[in-house]
Amino acid sequence: MKSPKPTFSPTSITATTNAVSTLLSDYIAQSEANAKAVLQQEEPKIIAEKLALKKLIESGFSSQENIVDFVATYLTHTNHLKNPRYMGHQVAVPQELSGIPDFIHGTINNPGSLYEMGPAPATLEGFMINWMLAKVGWLEDDKLYDFEFTPHRANGVLTHGGSIANLTALTAARAAIAPEAWTEGNPDDLVVLGPANTHYSIGRALSLMGLGKNAFIPVAVDAHEVMDVASLAAVYQQVKSKGKRVMAVVANACATSTGLFDPIEAIADFCQQQQLWFHVDGAHGAVVLMSDKQRFKMKGVEKADSLIWDAHKMMRVPSLCTAVLFKNGAHLLQNFQQKGSYVFHDSKVIGMDTMPYTIECTKSALGTKLFWALALEGESKLTHYVETRFEQALRFYEILSATDDFHCLYRPQTNILCFQYRPDQLNDAQQLELRYALVNHGAFYLTSCEIDGKRYLRVVVMNPHTQASDFVTLIAVIREKAQDLFDL
Ligand SMILES: Cc1ncc(COP(=O)(O)O)c(C=O)c1O
């Protein structure tokens, strides 16, 4: 039998990574200079063929040049978030050196959930959780090196994304009101209240938990889809009169679609009066807690029971990294009632294992990525980034408001702005068609959403270099595309 061809063995990490670094650094330079389209899409079959996926699986990379060629082709088929005209989803535009913690993790593979499997990653997770708790007001600043996992203090864990974090918070809310549910299944009287535009991961979590999506009872919102607190009280009375128990009230901070905040303090006060669990979905907006100028938008958050905060949105951390935080650490500790003899035991161990308190078993070195984003620039520069992105969205709002063919429904509170082009002439389907025409054109990448049943174009100012001139060009391109597409 013919022996298989020996595969290339990358003996030199330095030479290969240097070559890849050069490619990445050119990629960044070209993207930042807008020298390439933000996105040029091709069918997956074409990309698979260009990358020779089948062949590489069979025979492996043949040389360092082969790796470099592969990465170069791979990079041409990406969405260039580093282009200032990337204004799409709420996905972080990382700093130039943000990939290093992923590189270190990918090389040494020390997961963060079991202390002995990665003392440094676990320490950085504990430290970053403390830092976030301090931002909420749930931990004193001098306790950043307090890594005790006791029920007597606020606590939290990092998870792979906001959806898992919301699920974690909601299971904790259930453990508080119906601890027997873990073993016996759900009682049939639990409901969750919140605005209908809560992120879909909330409804999904309820279905996954076996409560059913109908356990979510929507509270009325205003024309901007912001929760109306008077309606919260009314809905609460209605569900109570039907013999239901409220497992949690959920608020947006901010809403994914609009970037607007629900009135956190008023909702928190209501929940405290009625002794209801208050969960704040701060996946996008909790970052305001870093800014003295912006944190008023989440005033009252310290009265909540749980909060999630995505670092891979506005903190420039590559996906994924989310914190789920609890004011009362006991809620974290009593969330999952399981034993696994190989990891969960009563012997005294050095450090802290977060594994018993996370949905994931093995986790990436999430705290390291988060720490890195802050350490690269220092906290004040990262805060400045957040503040200036919010200011740019406001600038775009002002520019659009000065035209007579664009319509903005609201003044932005974050870096998210929704608008329509000629709503008097273009219907919802045409607004959407316009979005696809812009994306396919490649010069800009933006998204769209529905607010109060109407279709809007949606810009999320994530890139640190996006400025007013990009908005002016976007307006010109929208007008041009609309002319091409529709008989205006
Ligand atoms: C308000 C809100 N909650 C939850 C999520 C889900 O987060 P992830 O994408 O990290 O799972 C998002 C995502 O955009 C969001 O905007």
Task: Tell which one of 198, 284, 307 to mutate to probe ligand 1, the residue whose CB is within 8 A of the most ligand atoms.
Answer: 284
Average pLDDT over every residue of 357-380: 96
Give per-residue pLDDT as tens, 135-184. 999 999 999 999 988 888 999 999 999 999 999 999 999 999 999 999 99
What pTM does this model have? 0.95
Which residue, 483, 486, 471, is CA-closest to 84?
471
To which H or E segment does residue 156 belong? strand 155-159
Which residue, 7, 21, 108, is CA-closest to 55?
7
Q: Residue 5: is its pLDDT beyond 60?
A: no
Look at residue 30 and give its three-state secondary structure: helix
pLDDT at 147: 93
pLDDT at 335: 93
Q: Residue 234: is its pLDDT beyond 80?
A: yes
Looking at CATH, the fold of the domain delimited by 111-377 is given as Aspartate Aminotransferase; domain 2 (3.40.640)
pLDDT at 149: 83
Distance (angstroms) between ligand 1 centre and the Cα of 79 equals: 20
pLDDT at 455: 97
Average pLDDT over every residue of 70-89: 96
Give per-residue pLDDT as tens, 280-334. 999 999 999 999 999 999 999 999 999 999 999 999 999 999 999 999 999 999 9
On whether the 379-485 domain is CATH 3.20.20.70, my answer is no
Distances in whole angstroms, Cα of residue 212 to Cα of each of 18, 220, 359: 51, 20, 19
Q: Which atom in ligand 1 lies closest to the alpha carbon of residue 285?
A: 1
d(CA 104, CA 55) in angstroms, rounded, equals 28
pLDDT over 70 for what percent of the chain? 96
Task: Tell which one of 90, 159, 163, 166 to mutate to probe ligand 1, the residue whose CB is within 8 A of the most ligand atoms.
Answer: 163
Q: Which residues line ligand 1 (CB under 6 A)?
A: 90, 161-163, 166, 199, 201, 252, 256, 281, 283-284, 310, 320, 322
Q: Residue 456: is its pLDDT beyond 60?
A: yes
Q: Residue 10: is its pLDDT beyond 70?
A: no
pLDDT at 341: 58
Distance (angstroms) between ligand 1 centre and the Cα of 204 equals: 12
- Identity of residue 93: V
Give per-residue pLDDT as tens, 92-137. 999 999 999 999 999 999 998 999 999 999 999 999 999 999 999 9
pLDDT at 344: 60
Which residue, 366, 348, 345, 372, is CA-closest to 356?
345
Q: Residue 1: is its pLDDT beyond 90?
A: no
pLDDT over 90 for what percent of the chain? 89
